[in-house]
Structure 1
Amino acid sequence: MSPADEDEITGIHCRLDELLAERGMTLTRLSEIVGVSVVNLSILKNDRARAIRYSTLSAICRALDCEVGDLLVHAV
């Protein structure tokens, strides 16, 4: 993969930080509930993730009591 590919903008924004704040939950607590490392959740939170497993997405949505569309939005 070339450096140009790594900088490609996906047009998808992850609202994980906002949802955590709204629910008064920490990234560490979400990590414990979902079973995903804090590092990997941080990558997702900072819009640096290349992919996400459906099972992880589902677990995050269950833990945050939200829909996929609340978590992942199309960035304008």
Structure 2
Amino acid sequence: MIIVNLDIMMARRKISLGELAEKVDITPANLSILKTGKAKAIRFSTLEAICKILDCQPGDILEYVDSD
């Protein structure tokens, strides 16, 4: 299972969903879907933009947890 820790990184960087959505050029609704872990996929270009804005690595946002 992939866990999305976007909310944690946003809190650490003190950035709101709306502000991040604007800077990444994604709708707040789509960013919210990603943030809540309901997204089935993410484009590398979107992940790259999020990492650039939040000054982090993809592994800071995405985490693999064995679901067994």
Shorter-chain TM-score: which interval? Answer: over 0.9
Correspondence 1:2-41 to 2 at 5 A: 11-41=1-31
Moved over 4 A (4+): none
Could you tell me which runs of 5 or more consecutive residues in structure 1 were left unpaired when the two chains were aligned.
1-10
One-letter amino acid of the structure 2 residue matched with residue 18 of structure 1: I
Structure 2: segments with no counterpart, 5+ residues: none
Percentage identity across aligned positions? 47
Bigger relative CO (Cα 8 Å, ≥ 6 apart):
2
Q: Cα RMSD over matched residues? A: 0.8
User: Deviations along 1:5-50, whole A, 9 cap, x unmatched?
Assistant: xxxxxx0011110001111100000011000011011001111001
**Deviation digits for residues 41-64 of structure 1 (CA, Å, limit 9, x no counterpart):** 100111100111110010000000
The alignment of Structure 1 onto Structure 2 pairs a total of residues equal to 66
